[in-house]
Homo-oligomer: A and B are copies of this chain.
Amino acid sequence: MKIAVLPGDGIGPEIVAQAVKVLEALRADGAKLEMETAPIGGAGYDAAGDPLPEATLTLAREADAVLLGAVGGPQYDTLDRPLRPERGLLRIRKELNLFANLRPALLYPELAGASSLKPEVVSGLDIMIVRELTGDVYFGQPRGIEVRPSPTGGSERVGFNTMLYSESEVRRVAHVAFGIAMKRGRKLCSVEKANVLECSELWKEVMIEVSKDYPEVELSHMYVDNAAMQLIRAPKQFDTIVTGNIFGDILSDAASMLSGSIGMLPSASLDAHDKGMYEPIHGSAPDIAGRNLANPLATILSAAMMYRYTFADLATADRIENAVKKVIAQGLRTGDIWTEGTRKVSCSEMGDAVVAAL
């Protein structure tokens, strides 16, 4: 198995180094793993003038899986739009056809205090959000900023994007979502805005069609505004959620904040053949970068997801996840999840502890 390791910017290199430690420990144990590192995001721009350098994309294409840190930083904010770090991220998703983004929102009982929600509202929280990642208003054509005649005479600029889903795009992510719901609580909630948008109307229709193939899964439908409310009011009503790219961007961030410990949450972005890119949900945290303070657990748990979804090696996935649970149970905490009575450790100490707990 070949892994393309893309540390990216900010805390990216530090947290990825810890996940690599874990992977190396597994290799020392006999796992056949090859790893190769390449720059992406701001680091790609610095190295090759491109947030997704050609060589990085080639490596990612050849690899079985990609491990990504995070991209972005204030020093890149003034670059031309196509050169900005986020563009590298959007392009690699699209180029590798990673249409299914899996974002778990999970509460670790020991960290319940970190949530801004009442303990009884979030205790035991375990939601999986499946976000479509290569369509919608993110990629729809036409798009741009143009000068057009203005209704009051004269002319003015308009900015526009196209929200668009085709049947086949909805169908393939629907199958992924139903498949995941089958392995979880068999409840799938499809979120859209079909009372207003034709794009959502088609989404909903195709979800209903695909549901015929999964009679054991209970499919429900919810408007996105209501879903945002329900995630706050009573998040435990959800098991698996499936939604489009932009609604998924918003709702999955909201859901990940429910636990209060976003430094713990991994994600997977899969293509049709279980090739995947794995990355923490959190960002590049430029404010603490390079100080060995970041929480590497979301990245380490992303490596676990890699074993689960791309390598289909559930035992090793469980092994990594159990090691993380163990260090949490031992009371080790990086600064972001530290509370009175627990032991504050650095990013690399946390990585070492997980390796020891493997």
Contacts and interface: CB of A to CB of B under 8 A. Distances in A.
Nearest to A144: B198
Contact of A137 (B84, B118, B163, B225): B163
Interface string A225-239: 110110111100000
B228 A253 contact: yes
A195 interface: yes
Given A166-B150, A253-B229, A198 B156 contact: no
Given A229-B256, A257-B229, A84 B195 contact: yes
Protomer copies: 2
Interface string A39-79: 00000000000000000000000000000000000000000
Contacts of A25: none
Interface in A151-205: 151-152, 156-168, 193, 195-203
Contacts of A163: 137, 160-163
Contact of A164 (B158, B201, B224, B249): B158
Contact of A118 (B118, B165, B225, B252): B118
Interface string A263-285: 00000000000000000000000
22 contacts: A116-B117, A116-B118, A117-B232, A145-B202, A150-B167, A151-B168, A152-B168, A156-B166, A156-B168, A158-B164, A158-B166, A158-B167, A158-B202, A159-B198, A160-B164, A161-B197, A163-B163, A193-B246, A225-B250, A228-B228, A231-B254, A233-B260
Interface of A: 81, 84, 86, 90, 116-118, 121, 137-138, 140, 143-145, 148, 150-152, 156-168, 193, 195-203, 224-226, 228-229, 231-234, 246-247, 249-254, 256-258, 260, 262
